[in-house]
Structure 1
Amino acid sequence: MSAGRPALLVTGLPRSGTSWVGKMLEASGELIYVNEPLNPQHPPGCSPGVLNHRVTRRFQYISDDEDGSWRSAFADTMALRYNLRAELRHNRGAYDLARAAKYATSFTLGRLQGKRALLDDPFAVLSTRWLVQQMGAQAVVLVRDPVSFVGSWRALGWNIHFHELLEQPALVRDHLGPYVDQMRALIGSPDWLARVCLLWRMVTEVVETSLRPLPDVQVVRYEDLVAAPLDSFRTLYQAAGLTWTGSAQARVRAATSRTAHETRAHAWSLRGGLSRTAYRPMTSAQALNSFQQRLSPQEIGRVRALTAEVAERFPQHASTTSHDHRNRASR
């Protein structure tokens, strides 16, 4: 972190709005954007200049049992200390060199200007408690309606491999023990929808039981941000200790008023910033309704049934089926 100011983590399951929220917070001009340091794929992950630690799987879990190496690595990342030597030992392609130069410059200037690190990383969601309690980060955790979440994963053809969770004993011990049998039963199963719903249930329970009670964690529903973006982001800026400026307001307004055909998802270039994100500007109406083209009515009903147990225990995630077509988000 810079000059004693806490780093800011934006996390939540992939496709929960982390890229959008991260970019809107970056509009404050007070943050340096760090894209997915815990992503095991390169790019954006496996960049030791950004995070000098080996990441072995998606949803890497860091607990209080760690040997100190994670603490050392994240201390440098949060303080915006770029490790150019470590980066060049691992990544030497033309693309890597250009990316390293941009990150090194951004980190150095940000540190000199007293800016804070903004870690935008959905793969950090299960390590959020450690990052907050042990590393002093603030966190914004996004939770998305399960129907919209499943629809977004369907659109991208994404899957979940439960061995990445089961092979982390500390994660099973601390959080996922009650779900072990269900995960094992779905390994190799053709029931894709059941697997993705189980992931949503598990992570949502961790968020509600382990993260929401922490004073430096803001748990936010993606749908609430989309429905009232200006008011919601003004509140989020205040909670994060950021200045809500006219330019930030204009950035949020522009991001929620452009139509989908004006831009494309996953667009990235070295001129456009430090990250290749899934963020795509669109109107609130588009964001709240596009799931209807991704799941059939029968599939929507099944998602509701498979996630009902968690929704019943945590009323903020309860189904409002009669309003699905108006009030559910999909980004």
Structure 2
Amino acid sequence: MLTASPELVYVDEPFNLYHHLLFQPTIFDHWFTYVLPENEQRYFKYLQTAIEAKFNLVLDANTIKTGRDRQRLLQTYLQSLKKRWTGARPLVKDPIALFSAEWLANTFNMDVVLTIRHPAAFAYSLKRANWTHDFSHFLAQPLLMRDYLHPFAAQISEYAASEKDIIDQAALLWKLIHYRVSMYQVHHSNWIFVRHEDLSRDPIAQFAKLFQQLNIAFSLDIQATIADYSRPDEAIAANPQLGFSKRDSRAIITSWKSGLSPSEIERIRHQVGDVASSFYSEQDW
């Protein structure tokens, strides 16, 4: 939605293991790679190309299978070039870069927006997509375990040793991510933290605030785009230039309540524990 503005150009998930940048295979070996000054030499040039290069093209070999996929990619690429030529700021959308956010912000002088989502909604999205996570990718990063995830070392080791139910995986993954987010909130008062539910409940007002915080003009055209892509609509249409599909934003807020069983919701709530209480109240469950 931010890249509905001509002032921003979209850079899609450079930390994703399946993406290729300028036909150069990704250099990342692990999901949620933790970049910091101690290991930045390996990653800097690749990420500088992704973020600052004049010509940027991200390819996902898993999704480019048809002529329509190629057409969508070309449209997105040409729109990206057009924006680059006009001096647009790059907007890097990458949840997988979460643990590297400090380094990215310091290295590339980034404004940081962190979107927080309800743990049950997060788990439901993973369940629907059947996305599992290999927790050995955390253990394979000793710097990440040393700096942030050591309080959860035993549980991460357990989940890495034997595959757990997707609901349990989602709960632990949410907990690890948002434990770090809670630390960011303490140490980075200049960063922007916004709940997905608040954006979805009142898109125009909440995005107006976000655009103002980022010093981006909030035109009538942008407002119309946000309204169009968040109102109830039976015809779900994709926009290759913006990189997303239309959603009934209000319905998304509580769709997990019908998509998960009561026992699944209770398991998630029990596992995320005190970390969730930093972001959500009893009423949010």
Task: Sort the TM-score into its range (normalised by shorter chain).
Answer: 0.7 to 0.9
Q: 1:82 to 1:94 in 2, by over 3 A?
A: farther
Query: Contact (CA 8 Å) 2:236, 2:247: kept in 1 or not?
Result: yes
The TM-score normalised by the length of structure 1 is: 0.75
Q: How do 1:235-314 and structure 2 match up within 5 A? A: 235-259=209-233, 261-263=234-236, 272-273=240-241, 275=243, 277=244, 279-284=245-250, 286-312=251-277, 314=278
C-alpha RMSD of matched pairs (Å):
2.9
Equivalent residue letter for 1:29: P
**Whole-angstrom CA distance in 2 between matches of 1:105 and 1:134:** 28
Partner SS for 1:78: helix
Structure 1 residue 125, shift from structure 2 partner: 1.3
Equivalent residue letter for 1:203: I
Equivalent residue letter for 2:241: G
Query: Contact (CA 8 Å) 1:226, 1:288: kept in 2 or not?
Result: yes
Query: Contact (CA 8 Å) 1:311, 1:319: kept in 2 or not?
Result: no
Partner SS for 2:21: coil
Structure 1 residue 148, shift from structure 2 partner: 1.2
1:26 and 2:3 matched: yes
Structure 1 residue 192, shift from structure 2 partner: 2.9
**Whole-angstrom CA distance in 2 between matches of 1:244 and 1:215:** 24
Structure 1 residue 131, shift from structure 2 partner: 0.6
Equivalent residue letter for 2:3: E
1:180-233 deviation line (CA, Å, top 9, x unaligned): 110111231433322211111111010110355324421111111111111110
Matching residue of 1:194: 168
Equivalent residue letter for 2:228: A
1:222 and 2:187 matched: no
1:36 and 2:2 matched: no
**Whole-angstrom CA distance in 2 between matches of 1:256 and 1:83:** 28
Query: Contact (CA 8 Å) 1:142, 1:219: kept in 2 or not?
Result: yes
Identity in percent:
26
Structure 1 residue 250, shift from structure 2 partner: 0.8
1:132-180 deviation line (CA, Å, top 9, x unaligned): 1222111111111111111111111111110111111111111111111
1:52-107 deviation line (CA, Å, top 9, x unaligned): 751222212111212434223323332232378x99xxxxx997987886666445
**Whole-angstrom CA distance in 2 between matches of 1:222 and 1:233:** 11
Q: How do 1:43-122 and structure 2 match up within 5 A? A: 45-48=19-22, 54-82=27-55, 105-122=78-95
Structure 1 residue 283, shift from structure 2 partner: 4.1
1:179 and 2:141 matched: no
Equivalent residue letter for 1:128: A
Query: Contact (CA 8 Å) 2:79, 2:241: kept in 1 or not?
Result: no
Q: Runs of 5+ in structure 1 lacking a partner?
A: 1-23, 88-92, 325-331
Alignment length (residue pairs): 279
Q: Runs of 5+ in structure 2 lacking a partner?
A: 60-64
1:240-279 deviation line (CA, Å, top 9, x unaligned): 11111101111111122133x3116xx57xxx2374x5x4
**Whole-angstrom CA distance in 2 between matches of 1:290 and 1:247:** 29
The TM-score normalised by the length of structure 2 is: 0.86
